[in-house]
Structure 1
Amino acid sequence: MHINHLIDPAFAPASAAVRAGDIPGAVLGVVTAAGERAVRAEGSAQIEPDHVGVTRETWFDLASLTKVIFTTTRILHYVEQGRIALDDPLTKVIPDLRQYDMNAAERRLTFRQCLAHDTHLPAVEPLYTYGQDPQTLRAFVLQRVWKPGPPVYSDINFILLGIAIERLSGLPVIDQDLAEGLTFRPDALQCAATERCTWRGRVIRGEVHDENAFALGGAAGHAGLFGTIGGVLDFARGLLDGSLLAAASIDAIRSRQTATRSVGWECRHAGWHGGDICSDSTIGHTGFTGTGLWLDFDRGIAWSLLTNRVHPTRHRDSGILALRRATGERVSAQFNPAH
């Protein structure tokens, strides 16, 4: 099926969710390895305090898509340059990690383990409640005695990786160079709004929704990236056609490190957000604000659903899991690269 013909049926669940008031707005984009693409948009970028419509040019807070689009990719570029190896400990770049205890478990953590969320670190910590000085909070992350636990999906893993990127580049995450359609410093008037934040006392628009990323200076290794659907699809195509990363890096993001995770990405598994019809070679990632990106390497297709489902509050059931699965299954069921 031609890509322009599959986008409308694939967008139908998102359109219904907007009309039902489950989510304010949505943009769906599909791209092939050959560069063919289609996009649909509907609903509101903001519903309070004023109404703003969503378009394909709307910038979304990509939330944890930062982990794969920026952090994972940038770490793999450093691996390709020979500056680090995936199995190097973080201390190769961050020698002061847990510097007061040379036997600390954190000093043995590798880039691969953090990328695959295969560490003892917790899922999240309310760092922002300890203060808002970015450098002090970075020091706190590096010196904290983290309580050990079973491996979980952890923002702390990627905050550490973001600090490593800052050390390697000499620049804060928020000042890193990015491709067109991606930014850490968006124009607020072009952005979809996220939450009415009780901590900041305002509707968040054009600044990162994640409180820890905000307190760490506006962007960190786990969150802070903004993008348009075009920017996200450009990134996805670069992975599909092999132009963005070397073959060994593509193999790393496609190869399972744990039952459900590769280097940086989530791998297809039963019940996941990408749906059950995609091929086993499919990887994906989601963002808390309502974003998501999936790449099916066997079919040579990627799709991204961008929503602002936390606007004006996260404390409601937006049905985002069912929406993502329905969207992915419609894309996968209709697209046959032979046609």
Structure 2
Amino acid sequence: MRTMDAESAHSHSSVADMPEQSERFAGVYTVLQDAIAGHAFPGCAFGVFAAGEPVLVDALGRFTYDSDASSVEPHTVFDVASITKVVSTTATAMLLSQRGLLDLETPLGELLPGFVVGRESAKLARRVTLRHLLAHNSGLPGYVEFFRAAATPAELYRACLELPVEAAPGERSEYSDPGFILLGKALEVLTGENLAVWAQKEVFDPLGLTATRFTPPVEQRALIPPTEIDSIFRHRIIQGEVQDENAWILNGAAGHAGLFSNVGDLLRFAGEILSAFGSSDRRDHAPLFDRGTIECFAARQGPEGSSRALGWDTPSQESSAGPYFSRHSIGHLGFSGCSLWIDLDAAVAAVLLTNRTWPDRQCQFIKEVRPSFHDAVRLGLSGVGQAL
């Protein structure tokens, strides 16, 4: 594999040739160019929403570290991994709640009886509600390699339903992929439709999120940066198909992962959230979310010390959003190296999309890059009168 040289790392933009409207974000470019040079990821697309509109959408680097790899463009679509949890699954739950079709206190077992029926001890399982799943305090384990044994969606769902509830619901905070797999299936019971289909019809299409979808068609895969060289499970380069193995078993679309999107779409989604707080008067569609619904889902749930709201995360003491995003912010990360943060007080949002898992999952430099990126975003905005 050839190493990307300095010129290639800066292939799309540089501080010197940035558009005039982006010069204030010179610090953002420096952070991301240094990250590419340090092999945090081979390329990225990024954007900022402020004052009711996108004020920056750009890209740096390439799909891989090869010098002849495709350049990342501002419109490039990425596997956004667990950002699926908010843009698809949580957004669906928000709309269903807003329409009076979802009660957060509904026990999961009422919608998915297999979660309770047949257990030797179902006492804790009966207490798990949709609120607990959204808040990641259901008592379910954080991550399980279902794909090692499950070859079909039915086998994987069955294994997920049979997981032990390891703690009393509400007492332990543990970020849980299985919890969101089950939540996604519960939402399908409520809507009577496949979650991916319902989200496309009720969330993505009304907002004009034209690049956002599950399972991109084969002919579009080459236009999406690869996430890794899989030497353990699928034994091939993973490009344009979901990286998460459990989501792949679930035909590429699940409550926890599987969504593909780009910066423009995610900023538009963030702008829709912020419009409920009066940050923008520009409308080409009916408002999707009520302010009360957003406030409900943005509220921390506990137990003490947990930053988790309903589906969304909020800034912790050492947050990936950095110190300038207020506590009244919501966001989420994706394992592939993506992030979305929305400050509800400052009416600011930032998106960073990368394939930090290329060529493998070992590098953790993204943990340093994310807060530095968000700090640079907020400092750039402060230079033009935007509140930090």
Normalised to the residue count of structure 2, the TM-score between the two structures is 0.81
Confirm whether residue 191 of structure 1 aligns to residue 229 of structure 2. Answer: no
The secondary structure found in structure 2 opposite 1:45 is coil
Aligned to 1:163: 185
The alpha carbon displacement at 1:47 in A equals 4.2
Amino acid at match of 2:356: R
Aligned to 1:288: 335
The secondary structure found in structure 2 opposite 1:244 is coil
Say which of 211, 219, 222 aligns to 2:253. Answer: 219
Name the CA distance, whole Å, in 2 between partners of 1:309 and 1:84.
36
Name the CA distance, whole Å, in 1 between partners of 2:249 and 2:47.
31
Confirm whether residue 261 of structure 1 aligns to residue 308 of structure 2. Answer: yes
Contact 2:94 2:297 in 1 (8 A): no
Name the CA distance, whole Å, in 2 between partners of 1:88 and 1:7.
46
Name the CA distance, whole Å, in 2 between partners of 1:65 and 1:7.
24
Contact 1:121 1:154 in 2 (8 A): yes
Amino acid at match of 1:249: T
In structure 1, stretches of 5+ residues that fail to align are: none
Confirm whether residue 306 of structure 1 aligns to residue 353 of structure 2. Answer: yes
The secondary structure found in structure 1 opposite 2:318 is coil
Aligned to 2:108: 90
The secondary structure found in structure 1 opposite 2:102 is coil
Aligned to 1:45: 63
Amino acid at match of 1:72: T
Q: Deviations over 1:3-22 (max 9, x none)?
A: 74443322321121113333
Contact 1:165 1:173 in 2 (8 A): yes
Aligned to 2:266: 232
Name the CA distance, whole Å, in 2 between partners of 1:289 and 1:15.
18
The secondary structure found in structure 2 opposite 1:293 is strand
Say which of 363, 372, 383 aligns to 1:316. Answer: 363
Q: Deviations over 1:15-73 (max 9, x none)?
A: 21113333110111001251233112011123469722211121110001011111111
Amino acid at match of 2:360: T
Structure having the higher Rg: 2
Name the CA distance, whole Å, in 2 between partners of 1:48 and 1:313.
15
Aligned to 2:129: 110
Amino acid at match of 2:296: A
The alpha carbon displacement at 1:275 in A equals 0.3
Name the CA distance, whole Å, in 1 between partners of 2:68 and 2:185.
37
Aligned to 2:373: 327
Aligned to 2:293: 249
Correspondences of 1:176-187 after superposition (within 5 Å): 176=198, 177=200, 178=204, 179-186=209-216, 187=220
Amino acid at match of 1:253: F
Contact 2:140 2:164 in 1 (8 A): no
Q: Deviations over 1:82-105 (max 9, x none)?
A: 112112212332233222248342
The secondary structure found in structure 2 opposite 1:335 is helix
Amino acid at match of 1:68: V
| Percent of residue pairs identical | 32
The alpha carbon displacement at 1:136 in A equals 2.1
Confirm whether residue 133 of structure 1 aligns to residue 152 of structure 2. Answer: yes
Tell me: CA distance 1:172–1:136, structure 2 relative to 1, closer, same or farther (3 Å).
Answer: farther
The alpha carbon displacement at 1:174 in A equals 4.1
Identify the range of structure 1 (288-297 vs 175-184) with the bigger mean alpha-carbon deviation. 175-184
Amino acid at match of 1:188: R
The alpha carbon displacement at 1:279 in A equals 1.8
* Count of aligned residue pairs for this structure pair: 337
Q: Deviations over 1:146-202 (max 9, x none)?
A: 444843111111111111122223333344423322100222122111011121011
Aligned to 2:239: 205
Normalised to the residue count of structure 1, the TM-score between the two structures is 0.92
Tell me: CA distance 1:227–1:171, structure 2 relative to 1, closer, same or farther (3 Å).
Answer: same
The secondary structure found in structure 2 opposite 1:277 is coil
The secondary structure found in structure 1 opposite 2:378 is helix
The secondary structure found in structure 1 opposite 2:74 is coil
* RMSD, aligned α-carbons: 2.2
